[in-house]
Chain A
Amino acid sequence: MSGIHRLQQEVADAIAAGEVIERPASVVKELVENALDADARRITVEVRGAGRTSIRVSDDGAGIVADELPLAFMRHATSKVSTLADLHGITSLGFRGEALASIAAVADVTCASGGAQIHLRAGEALEHGSGPLLPGVNIEVTDLFANVPARLKFLKSDATEVAAIRDVVSALALLHPHVKFHLTVDGRLSVGSGGDGDRRRASAAVHGPTVAAEMLEIVGLPLVSGLVSQPRVSRGTRDWIVLAVNGRPIMSRTLVFALEECYQGRLERGRHPIAVLDIGIDPELVDVNVHPSKREVRFRDENTVFAAVQRAVRAALGGSEPFFYRAAPPSPLERNQTGQLATAHEAWSSVAVQDLVVEPAPAGVPLRPLGQVGPGYLVAEGPQGVVLVDQHAAHERILYNRLLARLREGRGMSQPLLMPAAIDVEPALMAAAADHEAALSALGLELVEFGPRSLRILAVPAEMPASRATKAVQETLSALSESRSDEAVEKAAAALACHSAVRFGDVLDLSEQRRLLSDLELADEAVTCPHGRPTRLLIEWQELTRHFRRNY
């Protein structure tokens, strides 16, 4: 490193400027990033009073030379870039030379490094003298925003601010498994990673061992590394998706979309995967100097990155369990070794990751149908417990898989109509029918043009009840015309499956129920219907035992 220096005006001007210290979590982010830039192996963050009282970050990195300490707190002073050209291949997390100055402007800061120490308040250096001789940098920020009451007013509740801090540290811990992170909040450990380089163990530290055991690792693929969750583990928000470029957490709706698309048909609607994806890319091919928060980036070739993410995620998911019921929650009253009652969380965090191998459902034990309840649920007994099945969603999944199999094998099976039906369709749908003629006929659907706005249905998939054809064709064609070309045929198959499946509300006799259940057992990805709605709910024997207190 070339030492800290003030940037020339033209370089400073080229940097996306703006306020970066908005809340305690921004302070933590900037300080931890500085530590990472200094190649620290151990980073400790201690937060008190949700960061308003104090934030202390210490690391064992390269440190700051004693007489450069005041410089580090000047605006546009950095050791990380010096020329305009440097902005085009940034490898460090910081490059603006503004963070320390911005923090010092709104708080009371004491920073010790290389045997020296500086104390600043509201941007003014109060003291500069000798300090403790510690490795790396030790920086403490107190009275944050004390001189900017407006900013203080905008802070959220303590819990929210702490959660934001935890998110910042968590993301960086996941992205830098070689670094040992230690975050305490009011003296209590919040995140403690091992720093042994194992990403799954980092995940255990952040997500908990249960989730970590269910994460799939992306291995041996260019560009992308990280972990993605098995479809059976999901969350109700996207907060658990960490995306990064060269270790820098970024926000990218496009890449989140790329990721989530791989889960299509495997997750229920409104559920999102847990993921850590780091894109290792030539720094020249990505512009990080887009937004002051440095969280938005611009790829030179976004399509390649998009494709790489999908390839990586799909490869990882390829190895996931084809189907699984809901995993059993831990028993809340499990006793720990000392005989005391442990909380659910403690009970689980004391279990080593490798002990948490989840048993797949035993194959070959058929579900025994018990009947139909409500408008369209089947009740069955299985080896693991009582299973409730949404008959429509289940049948939809079975038919969808079957249609796709036919498409793959090119062995269509269709029911030609005795009396072809004519339907009126919009020109866009006419075009969709023409564009996908081959795929549709492999699915069993044969249509011919019959006037400028009308089609004649000659044949339908063999599964489709006669009375559903017209509606099904309309919906299938709209699915085709509304979908991106690479997924259009699957969307069409989903529409056909939906309109061929038994309806929610149809009465099924016991033999039809048995058939549906055993077909579902054999189906891949049977957890959800092709639209992502769940097909079943398992109430495990243990859960019943627990509920009825039969275990005492």
Chain B
Amino acid sequence: MNAKAIATQMKVTCRPSVLSQALQVVSRAISSRTTLPILNNILIETTAEGLALTATNLEIGIRKVVPAEVAMEGSTTAPARLLTDFVSTLPDQDLELSLDGATQSLGLRCARFDTHIKCIEAEEFPPGPRPDEGDRLEVPLDELVKAVEQTQMAASTDEARPVLTGVLVQVQAGNLTLAATDGHRLAVRKLPAQGAGDLEASLIVPARALAELARVLKGEPGRVEIIISKARNQIFFKAGNSELTSRLIDGKYPNYSQVIPSKSSTTVRVPTAELTQTVRAVSLFARDSANVIRVKATSGAVTLSATTNEVGDSKAEMSAEVEGSEIQIAFNARYVLDALGVIGEDEVELLFDGPLSPGLLRPPGKEHYLYVIMPVRVAMS
């Protein structure tokens, strides 16, 4: 930020439709429970590329730059809710924003509208961290978005175990690995990174922040640049005109690799869609029993079943490739469905090693994704 706000008479022109979309995304960083009033505002600054919009709740920050014609440079902060709501109602004709630096009154002129919004000086806005000289690497955008989707749902929301509310992001040997667990199940996804060199890093990124990633980067082309701050306390995701920054969670992530089963006595291969639909149908009857479904694998078939005293029972058999010994095992249907929903492959492979050991779910023959679930212990009748 350069000039003093007092002297600034910002004047820019842009399209309401583009601005509105960006405002909605940026507003996601605003916490509804903030105690700092300035954090309800969006920072608006002119840049070489157009108009930059930034919001933060001090944990995460979102920044987007929308194309705009800058007639006069300047900056201010406007109330997010009001600005977003107002701009979204405007017709898609040129919108002229002009700031009176002395009064911090932001004029919005568009079609027949002539509106003024009271703003607060940009200096009041917390100077969010900017990508510095930290370590950089690059990953394909769509793969990163997919990897986040495949792992983030397994993270915990238990504030008593803060590290588990994050996704572990590891950089190692030119790969980026994302891992998340809530103590009941574990999801791990690996993707290749570029430019990482021999960088090694292990960071815990709040799952809440990653949950915004897809939305923030939507529509940006190609690749995402990941920047890890020198102090190792911030991470930046940057693609095109969009940027997500997040504070990192302090602490030591549990060594998850030791719970990944290294052997299996039964391997099952089934079509993903059919399994998803069957689990969903059978679990309707898994009520008395905490959403627990029983899985039985015999040669050539997998049988899913659930019972509730008052409601009845349901059983479904599907043909499957089964190798190894027969098995009966029980799972919380929700955890199974969570994985099936994001695996993104036509077929899925299930590996078991007895009814009390963790089960493994993965795309057949591939190593880039795995999902481990702890079975439920039931009194077998």
A345 at the interface (CB under 8 A from B): no
A411 at the interface (CB under 8 A from B): yes
* Partner of B376 from A414, A470, A471 at Cβ < 8 Å: A414
Chain A residues, Cβ within 8 Å of B259: 418-419
CA distance A66 to B377 in the complex (A): 85
Contact between chains at A413 and B158 (CB < 8 Å): no
Contact between chains at A421 and B161 (CB < 8 Å): yes
- Please choose the segment from B13-21, B86-94, B179-187, B315-323 that sits at the chain A interface, where 4 or more of its residues have CB less than 8 A away: B179-187
* Secondary structure type dominating chain A contacts: mixed
Contact between chains at B183 and A416 (CB < 8 Å): no
**How many residues in B have their beta carbons less than 8 Å from beta carbons of A?**
32
Contact A467-B156, Cβ < 8 Å, known A414-B376, A416-B356, A417-B184: yes
Contact between chains at B289 and A413 (CB < 8 Å): yes
Contact A418-B358, Cβ < 8 Å, known A461-B290, A466-B184, A467-B182: yes
Residue of B whose beta carbon sits closest to that of A473? B160
Residue of A whose beta carbon sits closest to that of B155? A467
Residue of B whose beta carbon sits closest to that of A421? B183
CA distance A469 to B290 in the complex (A): 15
A522 at the interface (CB under 8 A from B): yes
* Partner of A459 from B160, B254, B289, B377 at Cβ < 8 Å: B377
Contact between chains at B377 and A418 (CB < 8 Å): no
Contact between chains at B256 and A462 (CB < 8 Å): no
A269 at the interface (CB under 8 A from B): no
Chain B residues, Cβ within 8 Å of A415: 184, 290, 332, 374, 376-377
* Secondary structure type dominating chain B contacts: loop
B205 at the interface (CB under 8 A from A): no
* Partner of A522 from B186, B256, B289, B310 at Cβ < 8 Å: B310
In the complex, how many angstroms separate the beta carbon of A438 from the nearest chain B beta carbon?
A: 15
Residue of A whose beta carbon sits closest to that of B156? A467
Chain A residues, Cβ within 8 Å of B377: 412-416, 459
A515 at the interface (CB under 8 A from B): yes
Contact between chains at A419 and B289 (CB < 8 Å): no
Contact between chains at A462 and B332 (CB < 8 Å): yes
CA distance A463 to B181 in the complex (A): 18
Contact between chains at A419 and B256 (CB < 8 Å): yes
A408 at the interface (CB under 8 A from B): no
Mask: chain A, 110-149; 1 = CB below 8 Å from B; 0 = not? 0000000000000000000000000000000000000000
Interface range for A? 20 to 34
B157 at the interface (CB under 8 A from A): yes
CA distance A471 to B358 in the complex (A): 24
Contact between chains at B374 and A413 (CB < 8 Å): no
Residue of A whose beta carbon sits closest to that of B377? A414
Contact between chains at A417 and B183 (CB < 8 Å): yes
Interface residues of A in 375-422 (CB under 8 A from B): 402, 411-421
A296 at the interface (CB under 8 A from B): no
Chain A residues, Cβ within 8 Å of B290: 402, 413, 415, 461-463
Residue of A whose beta carbon sits closest to that of B357? A416
Please report B residues at the A interface, Cβ cutoff 8 Å: 156-158, 160-161, 181-186, 254, 256, 259, 287-292, 310, 332, 356, 358, 372-379
Lowest 5 A-B CB distances belong to which pairs?
A: A466-B182, A462-B290, A467-B158, A411-B379, A418-B374
* 18 other A-B residue contacts (CB within 8 Å) besides A467-B182, A468-B158: A412-B377, A413-B376, A413-B378, A414-B377, A417-B184, A418-B183, A418-B358, A418-B372, A418-B374, A419-B183, A420-B183, A462-B289, A462-B332, A462-B376, A466-B156, A466-B158, A469-B183, A471-B160
